[in-house]
Amino acid sequence: MQSPLRIAIIGQSNFAADVLELLLEKNYNIVGVFTIPNKGTREDILATTAKQYGIPVFKFASWRRKGEVLPEVLQQYKSVQANLNVLPYCSQFIPMEVIDAAHFGSICYHPSILPKHRGASAISWTLIEGDEAAGFSIFWADDGLDTGPLLLQKQCLVEPTDTLDILYKRFLYPEGVKSMAKAVDMVAEGKAPKIPQAEVGASYDAAMFKEQNHYIDFKQTAEGMWNFIRGLDSVPGALAVVVHEDGSEEKIRFFGAHLYTDGPVTGPKSLTLKGLKFPAYIHDRGLLLQGIDGKFVNIRRLKRGSKMINACDWFAECHKSQISNFSKDELDKRDLLANIWHSILKCPIEAETDFFAAGAGSMDVVRLVEECKDALDVPLDNEQVFMAPVFEEFFCEIIRSLRQDSSAVHGRIHYDGFVLQANKREISVPTQLFINGEFLDAEERKTLDVINPANEELLCKVACASHSDIDKAVQAAHKAFYGSWRQVSARQRGQLMLKLADLIEEYKEELATIESVDSGAVYTLALKTHIGMSIDAWRYFAGWCDKIQGNTIPVNPARPNNVLTFTKKEPIGVVGLITPWNYPLMMLSWKMAACIAAGNTCLIKPAQTCPLTALKFAELTVKAGFPPGVINVVPGTGSEAGQAVSDHKLIRKLGFTGSTPIGKEVMRSCANSNLKKCSLELGGKSPLVIFADCDFDKAVKYGVSSVFFNKGENCIAAGRLFVEDRIHDEFVRRVLRDVRSMTIGDPLNRSTAHGPQNHRAHFEKLIEFCRRGINEGAKLVYGGRPVPNTKGYFFQPTIFTDVEDHMFIAQEESFGPIMIISKFHGSDVESVMRRANRTEYGLASGVFTRDISKALQFADNIEAGTVFVNVYNKTDVAAPFGGFKQSGFGKDLGQEALNEYLKTKCVTIEY
């Protein structure tokens, strides 16, 4: 080579810009860049890139007029004295006077294996005709159209998942850029061949930028339709015409097609398409088209006008209300939004301006989303830009979101409910089922009575879910799990949970008031524990969302190959939760926060006696922005709604807290239905052993709270106290003093320490429990009966002593404010431990002693999931919670709780 190359790049787009930069990396001399004029003030990236390197840039709207080269254009081209023209991607017709002016010629990129698929739509036709291989050619430009001699070709197999866009990005673009540089190398080395194109197999295909060529031919096989659709995906989209019931017609475009082999669809709705012999069907995974061979192609996305929608949402979009009545403030936001678009696109913004047609790329989407969040304070994600790329539609989506958010902030989410007037507040409380993001009446408008346990008066009637309602909630959760929830990243999931925790904190006084009136919890305790620990749970598990990970495992490979084995932690799917009445919101949060953090969707059946905080919580999930169907709240009876949850075959995990007898039935139903995973937190009879060498004041304090905390409705309540004989009488005396001073009454009164029991059936059970204790010979020291002359389910704090191991009250759980005290002799430590274990329950336990060896011996030998030493009821959201034996299995709280809602997948790769 006598002189170095002087290269002119003629073209446009990112492809050409990447070729330019690669040639510069190889130290080639780029003497000029020739590209298209600006669109408004937006410059093509090739021009922008060339300017960064100080390369002269020329922008021509046209190179010729009436078939003749424009003299001024030719003169400017010749001014750079190029001896090689490189055309990486060029949409303009370049005259032969320019092509032939370069001494070493002109090399051009074409995205097909020439001579097949000549013309401007080569990639589309590669897919439309079902070619097994795709590729590109770099050829010497001549006076024909893609007919010049070949310099270099590369090809790849066409994958079933390829679309025009995917094929270009996967192979034609990256390999094409590298091959353009390689072609220049070959020219520089004098090794570039000129291989004449064969005429055998040559074809010239119609240009797919003409709308008349976009219409899909329905008179072909399903495979033929699929190939046509993916050949126009993502630009411009295969065109079809919907014929509406009134005879009117509407153009739509198809995207995201695949051959459908998934069996019958459930509940499809038909759609009439012009030219299609058979009805098209909208179902929960898209739009089905039947080919002449009887097979089907499924379409995932549709474009109506300029707006992209999920095909399954066709009928929902048809009924979606249009926005036209904008307020002055909203119109001001329109101007602000137009300014944001203008700053990004650098062109005038009209109602029909298309963000992407105006030249925006992926980074522009990120910028638009972030600037809209800052300027308009609107929740927004990248997907919404792609689904509404036209300015006016995008503006309407912004306003729709702002109106919804404003309604949420001001408590105007639509539901039927009642206004609770209590605690100097007026609180709006939903009373309907919450399914798929909406509050709905139960089937046949069935209801449950919700009674205020403090005065036995009817608070309200709440919707009572039927089998059909449970199925509706499960289907919503199932659809969300495989749809919208999968689009939410782990980190975004955590952000949603944190926002929900913030809302629970913002509404904590309202929630504590509802909890107090609905369940009988003392307000101050509800505020601190019921609501406070709920907030803690959501925040704790939010932090876990993006830290759930598997492991790599060293395994024994089959030499000489290597093996990589790793595990993945994945969500289980739809989870059913059934929670008790003692801590309504806290039990919901303990289970649901871990469930959601793990990536599942769920439905919860709260206790039928106190479902109100769960329904108020449902309202907050909408305000937090959870997608519809992710969280569903379905009050109902255990016999119908609870049983339906246990039996449903789409539920893959059930989390239950309740009594041991019901837990056994739940476990049986889980096995019989679909062998669903279950975790059970059941009854307890937790022993508390108090040695004489304890800190006595502390032992009395915690001994009282271990039993009477939350009026005894506490799953880890100390069901039986073993007190060393040397301190027994003084311990009883001190406990009596504390109990007699305990304030019993209105749970909303700040001085109240002991509120009403939750409901009448439980209230009457406590009366019977005490009667049996007396009849068996235990000594009733205090209480044992309802508070006299008081309306409501108020039961006196009760103390039994001289309780023997064989007695009913020593073996069974009261779940109420009843202290059971037995003596033991301090010389026989092993004996008291055996007595403490002599029960079928094993939820919690406690010991008070200053002797560390005794404490550790107790912790080693006690059969309980939780052991408290010199403290009691000290739970934390980071500490795992769950029992042994007939207290159930599985854990709430802590990292271990996540395992209840995850499945482990093992992947092994040989290489």
Query: Does 409 or 817 have the greater pLDDT score?
Result: 817
Q: Tell whether residue 642 is among the known ligand binding residues.
A: yes
Q: Tell whether residue 257 is among the known ligand binding residues.
A: no
| Ramachandran angles phi, psi of 680, nearest 5° | -125, 120
At 318, the pLDDT band (50, 70, 90 cuts) reads low
> How far does CA 85 lie from the centroid of its chain?
51
Q: Tell whether residue 434 is among the known ligand binding residues.
A: no
Q: Tell whether residue 813 is among the known ligand binding residues.
A: yes
Query: Rg for the chain (alpha carbons), in Å?
Result: 37
User: What percent of the chain is predicted at pLDDT more than 70?
Assistant: 98
pLDDT tens track for 43-66? 999 999 999 999 999 999 999 998
Give the lowest-confidence range in 371-380, 612-621, 670-679, 901-910.
371-380
Residue 412 has pLDDT above 90, yes or no: no
Comparing CA positions, the residue from 691, 646, 693 lying closest to residue 665 is 646
Residue 410 has pLDDT above 50, yes or no: no
pLDDT confidence of residue 322: 64
Q: Tell whether residue 94 is among the known ligand binding residues.
A: yes
Beta strands at 269-271 and 552-553: parallel, antiparallel or unpaired: unpaired
Q: Tell whether residue 844 is among the known ligand binding residues.
A: no
Identical fold at 6-189 and 687-882? no
Q: Tell whether residue 179 is among the known ligand binding residues.
A: no
pLDDT confidence of residue 362: 75
Cα dihedral 94/99/105/109 (nearest 10):
10
H-helix or E-strand spanning residue 509: helix 508-519
For the chain, the straight-line distance linking the first and the last C-alpha, in angstroms and rounded, comes to 45
CA atoms 57, 61, 63, 68: torsion sign: negative
pLDDT confidence of residue 404: 65
Q: Which CATH class is domain 211-313?
A: alpha beta
pLDDT confidence of residue 320: 58
Beta strands at 798-801 and 818-824: parallel, antiparallel or unpaired: parallel
At 498, the pLDDT band (50, 70, 90 cuts) reads very high
Comparing CA positions, the residue from 133, 124, 213, 110 lying closest to residue 163 is 124
At 758, the pLDDT band (50, 70, 90 cuts) reads very high
Comparing CA positions, the residue from 599, 562, 606 lying closest to residue 584 is 606
Q: Tell whether residue 640 is among the known ligand binding residues.
A: yes
pLDDT tens track for 704-746? 999 999 999 999 999 999 999 999 999 999 999 999 999 999 9
Give the lowest-confidence range in 199-203, 361-365, 596-600.
361-365
pLDDT tens track for 782-791? 999 999 999 9
Query: Does 485 or 361 have the greater pLDDT score?
Result: 485
pLDDT tens track for 645-696? 999 999 999 999 999 999 999 999 999 999 999 999 999 999 999 999 999 9
State the catalytic residue, choosing from 510, 619, 681, 900. 681
Q: How far apart are CA 872 and CA 427, in angstroms?
A: 35
Looking at every residue in the chain, the average pLDDT score rounds to 94
Q: Tell whether residue 883 is among the known ligand binding residues.
A: no
Q: Tell whether residue 659 is among the known ligand binding residues.
A: yes
pLDDT tens track for 136-185? 999 999 988 899 999 999 999 999 999 999 999 999 999 999 999 999 99
Residue 319 has pLDDT above 70, yes or no: no
Q: Tell whether residue 132 is among the known ligand binding residues.
A: no
Q: Tell whether residue 638 is among the known ligand binding residues.
A: yes
Contact yes or no for 851/834 (Cβ under 8 A): no
pLDDT confidence of residue 487: 83
Q: Tell whether residue 495 is among the known ligand binding residues.
A: no
Beta bridge partners of 679: 655
Question: Structure tokens of 473?
Answer: 């909630």
The burial class, CB within 10 Å (0-12 / 13-18 / 19+), for 621 is: buried
Superfamily holding 6-189: Formyl transferase, N-terminal domain (3.40.50.170)
Q: What mean pLDDT do residues 542-562 have?
A: 93
Superfamily holding 328-407: ACP-like (1.10.1200.10)
Side by side, which strands form the sheet with 438-440? 438-440, 433-435, 631-633, 601-605, 574-578, 651-657, 677-681, 888-889
CA distances from 429 to 133, 421, 514, 846, 901 (A): 62, 10, 9, 39, 30
Residue 377 has pLDDT above 90, yes or no: no
Beta strands at 6-10 and 84-87: parallel, antiparallel or unpaired: parallel
687-882 belongs to CATH 3.40.309.10: yes
Q: Which CATH class is domain 417-681?
A: alpha beta
Domain spans of the chain, in order of start:
6-189, 211-313, 328-407, 417-681, 687-882
Q: Tell whether residue 93 is among the known ligand binding residues.
A: yes
pLDDT confidence of residue 748: 96
pLDDT tens track for 9-36? 999 999 999 999 999 999 999 999 999 9
Contact yes or no for 130/96 (Cβ under 8 A): no
Q: Tell whether residue 351 is among the known ligand binding residues.
A: no
The burial class, CB within 10 Å (0-12 / 13-18 / 19+), for 768 is: exposed
State the catalytic residue, choosing from 43, 90, 110, 724. 110
Catalytic status, residue 715: yes
Q: Tell whether residue 593 is among the known ligand binding residues.
A: no
Task: Please state whether the peptide bond connecting residue 115 to the residue before it is cis, i.e. omega within 30 degrees of 0.
Answer: yes
State the catalytic residue, choosing from 372, 396, 670, 715. 715
Beta strands at 686-690 and 718-724: parallel, antiparallel or unpaired: parallel
Q: Tell whether residue 765 is among the known ligand binding residues.
A: yes
pLDDT tens track for 563-584? 999 999 999 999 999 999 999 9
The model's pTM: 0.78
Q: Tell whether residue 643 is among the known ligand binding residues.
A: yes
Residue 275 has pLDDT above 50, yes or no: yes
pLDDT tens track for 387-406? 788 899 899 888 887 876 55
pLDDT tens track for 426-471? 999 999 999 999 999 999 999 999 999 999 999 999 999 999 999 9
Q: How far apart are CA 521 and CA 177, in angstroms?
A: 70
The burial class, CB within 10 Å (0-12 / 13-18 / 19+), for 386 is: middle
CA 499-617-513 angle, 5° bins: 110
Catalytic status, residue 318: no
Q: How far apart are CA 903 and CA 521, in angstroms?
A: 36
